[in-house]
A and B are shown apart, each in its own frame.
Chain A
Amino acid sequence: MTALVAMLRKDLLLQWRGRAQIVAIFAFGAATLLLFSFAIGPDSVALRQHAAGFLWLGLLLASTLSLADSFEGEMEEQALEGLLLLPASARAIYYGKAIANCAQLTLMGAALVSLIVVLYDAGTLRLLSLLGVIVLGATGLSAPGTLYAAMTAQSRARQTLLPLLLFPLVVPVLLAAVKATSLLILGDPMGQLGSWASLLGVFAVVHWALGGMFFERVVED
């Protein structure tokens, strides 16, 4: 637990020091939302209907940049190798980084929601539920994202490889997150939100368990 706390502190501190990069990634997510809204046109009903999908697509695209960036610092001076040789537990390293990435994605998701309200006129009064869905979705994205970011970190083509590996794996998470968010924005007469949120939760648990299991194999020679 001490190692996990140390890793989390380190990763949050690294994110804070690299906040200019985070702002740039958020701007990228915001730009995608803006472009999607242009693609739909001035039809406010269509905009509201597609808002959830575009929110999660924007977040997914931005996440590939932030996840790849989270391993930049680990590779610059082989700091990750240094941690493993101390020795620090590979699981603590993984979970520390995955939690920090999840927190970053949650913040980015919450910030993008405010843009969705402005650009797509797609708000909801169930803010806590929306935050819950964003947290669950970010959890489901960050666990496999952290694992694959570690896997591709030493590759020159990491910016291309990461989405290629990650996107197929997170399709179920994306579908469940879009459906749950859509129900919050457009209404939930059949009470389906709980089921989609549970599905998100199950995906998150599975991804976090598998990520912790495989990370050591990924980072060790």
Chain B
Amino acid sequence: MAVSAAGLGRRHGRRWVLAEVGFELPEGALAMLSGRNGSGKSTLLRVLATAIRADVGTAHVLGYDLRLDREEVRRNTALLGHRAHLYERLTALENLALAARLLDGDGRRAALLDRLEEVGLVDRADDAVQTFSTGMRQRLALARVLQQEARVVFLDEPYGHLDPQGFLLVDAVLRRLRARRCTVLMATHLLERARMLCDRGLILDEGRLVFAGATAEMPEGAVTGGAWFAEGA
């Protein structure tokens, strides 16, 4: 299994934002993670990427234990979070160059420009990130995720802040990751779009996993958004 979790829980103060979450994702799976705002999607992705620790439960990524093998998990995973993980005072190119040095990757200008070309930012390569819009930051963050060439990728609302061309870019990235046999777990509110791309789905409701299975078997209400987990939507 690429990702497996059992009894995962995370508490913020007295409130459990994740409770008894357990599921498995095979290698190469492209899975969507949905649920209302505050249902624990981002927390789950951050726990699995080792950005934060679970308070209870166990989880393994590619067989590595999240608690015991943090380094190995990090070496094999990439997280696109709500925050872009970028230095605002550095340029787009400098941000990628820093990551390349730490990853022992190709840090030549030409290679980094190619990476920026992929996300449509090549003409802003030498501009400081602080001059970028939120959507451009998202694109650059996506470039850095691709740079990591991780075997398991966690994407937290990758379509957020992007323009229609950006949507197509994320679609293309997902297809490329799938072609590489990469395992992807993506939190998103674009349910119809995600269902067309993903083969598996997970639904969280108030921190609890209420569905895990093939996207074709997802409750119809959950996919259309007028769902039992999103009354009034």
Contact = CB atoms under 8 A, between A and B. Distances in A.
A77 B70 CA distance: 22
B148 A17 contact: no
B6 to A, nearest CB: 20
Contact of B102 (A14, A17, A88): A88
Interface residues of B, number: 33
A35 B197 CA distance: 67
Interface stretch (A2-10, A41-49, A55-63, A160-168): A2-10
Nearest to A88: B102
B71 A221 contact: no
B87 A14 contact: yes
B102 A6 contact: yes
Contacts, number: 74
A73 B90 CA distance: 10
Q: By DSSP majority rule, is chain A's interface helix, strand, loop, or mixed? A: helix
Given A10-B98, A83-B102, A88-B102, A77 B87 contact: yes
B128 A78 contact: no
B53 A221 contact: yes
Interface string A57-86: 000000000000000010011110111111
B88 A86 contact: no
Interface string A4-43: 0010001001100110000000000000000000000000
A83 B98 CA distance: 9
Given A10-B90, A18-B89, A87-B71, A77 B137 contact: yes
Q: By DSSP majority rule, is chain B's interface helix, strand, loop, or mixed? A: mixed
B62 to A, nearest CB: 15
Interface stretch (B24-32, B73-81, B111-119, B162-170): B73-81
Counting contact residues on chain A (CB < 8 A from B), the size range is 20 to 34
B214 interface: no
B216 interface: no
Interface string B79-114: 101011111111000100011011110000000000
A221 B10 CA distance: 12
Contacts of B90: 10, 13-14, 17
Contact of A79 (B52, B74, B87, B102): B87
A77 B88 CA distance: 8
B4 interface: no
B81 A78 contact: yes
B50 interface: yes
A48 to B, nearest CB: 41
A86 B141 CA distance: 13
Contact of A77 (B75, B86, B94, B99): B86
A155 B75 CA distance: 29
Nearest to A79: B87
Contact of A86 (B89, B128, B148): B148
B52 A82 contact: no
Given A2-B101, A13-B94, A221-B52, A86 B74 contact: yes
A79 B99 CA distance: 11
Nearest to A221: B52
Given A6-B102, A88-B102, 14 more contacts: A10-B90, A14-B90, A17-B128, A77-B83, A77-B87, A78-B81, A78-B83, A82-B84, A82-B85, A84-B51, A85-B49, A85-B79, A87-B71, A221-B53
Interface of B: 49-53, 70-71, 74-75, 77-79, 81, 83-90, 94, 98-99, 101-104, 128-129, 137, 144, 148
